[in-house]
Amino acid sequence: MQFAIAQTVTGKVTDATGEAVLGATVLVKGSSNATTTDFDGNYSINATSGQVLVYSFAGYTPQEITVGNNNVINVVMEESLDVVIVTAYGTTTKPKLQSAISTVSSEDLQNVPIASFEQILQGRAPGLLINSGSGQPGTAAKVRIRGTVSINGANDPLYIVDGVQIDGGAFASLNANDFENVSILKDAQATALYGSRGAAGGVIVITTKRGGKLNSPTRFSYSSQFGFSEVSDLKIDMLDATGYLELGRILGNNNFTDEQIAAEVAANGMDWSEPFYRTGTTLTQNMSMSGGSEKTSFFASVGYYEQEGVILTSDLQRFTTRLNLDHQANDNLKIGLGTTIGFSKRNFVPQEGAVNLRNPAIYAYLGNPLQRLRDDNGNLLTGTGNNAANYYELLTTGIQRQEEVKMQIQGNLAYELNDNWGY
């Protein structure tokens, strides 16, 4: 009988110039065991002999190395030459570009059950900070490429989808499965062509999927996902009804016996997290087709997304459709047409805010554990003051609703000057 003994594998990840690669992912293939490289490109991970380590980073070709007897593995990452980067009015490849740009490929964007596209970028590019805010379905995340560079000015990045500027909140009506790649422009050289708006917070350029190669057969794709979500454990050790009464006895606020405490808890004990929270569900369905004739190619898609949040009454429904057409007029000139329609409807909890005591989600942890939600007849036990039932009523009756329809039609011309540059 043989046993595989885990060993600690260490090493350094660098690029072709010898510079350390910060934030590269090192994954034990076929498992969830992964780590990232530090500022100096160093990493450490537990693996057994015979397992395969996968090294990956945006803009570089992934590498797979089998673990042997040597517990030190240094890796030199090679730039992916086929990554096309959009730079304002031009396109090029990463080796020909001298700007600070990170890219995220379509493989990283597909079939991720997240309502807002910005959250998909989390952990995909170095230096990119994502804060999901309230976490309610469809809520736009806060994105910072350069950190907070201005107190009063704009810190949000400029979003460009197929050459058209959009607002960050519009992603609730867009389907990330339609995105081919994302370029994150960081430094002044990369953002200069977008003016002062791009210079403030950086630029995120999104290119949607186009049709297949010319004279290619029509291809169909369908995917469906269903999942559950639970509220995260906030590690707040609040007293339950029994503990509340026992503490009161210690402080001299009551003289209940253990039997009286048990009877009081049975009659009026309440766990306020139960009526405020629930198990959330997520349903994602996407269907697409692409192909090409002698001179024309197309990409068409339909997507549906439905999410029930972990907070009662919070939910999101989204329906999207897209059609992209490209016609090769001659060897250098390509004419394109893109149309997209998105409809989203969401319900969300009013009075959002992490420290807002009128926020029903927060009050789930502040409710009196000896105060019932309903009387024996099923009526809400509302009243004056900070009565928890008042906040439950606010949660169920004071719902804010938002419906949004977005339609975009655009045309474009692409002219290829040579093998290096196109406009």
- What six digits make up the tokens of 274? 């139960």
The dihedral through the CA atoms of 411, 417, 419, 422 has a sign that is negative
Low-confidence ranges of the chain (pLDDT < 50): 1-3, 89, 95-98, 353-354
pLDDT of residue 304: 94
| DSSP conformation letters of 1-70 | ---PPEEEEEEEEE-TTS-B-TT-EEEETTSS-EEE--TTSEEEEEEETT-EEEEE-TTB--EEEE--S-
Helical segments of 218-290, H only: 241-250, 258-268, 273-276
Show me where the domains of the chain are located: 6-79, 84-208, 241-276+351-398
Q: Domain 84-208 carries which CATH code?
A: 2.170.130.10
- Residues 55-80 have pLDDT tens digits of 988 667 889 999 988 889 999 988 76
- What six digits make up the tokens of 147? 């950190």
- Specify the pTM: 0.67
pLDDT of residue 98: 45
Helical segments of 89-194, H only: 117-120, 188-191
* 397: enclosing H helix or E strand: helix 388-397
pLDDT of residue 96: 46
Is 399 within 8 Å of 347 (Cβ atoms)? Answer: yes
Is 349 within 8 Å of 362 (Cβ atoms)? Answer: no
Which CATH code, of 1.10.10.10, 2.60.40.1120, 1.10.10.60, 3.30.70.20, is assigned to 6-79? 2.60.40.1120
Question: What CA–CA distance (Å, rounded) separates 322 from 284?
Answer: 16
- Residues 372-423 have pLDDT tens digits of 888 888 888 776 666 666 777 777 777 788 888 888 888 888 777 765 555 5
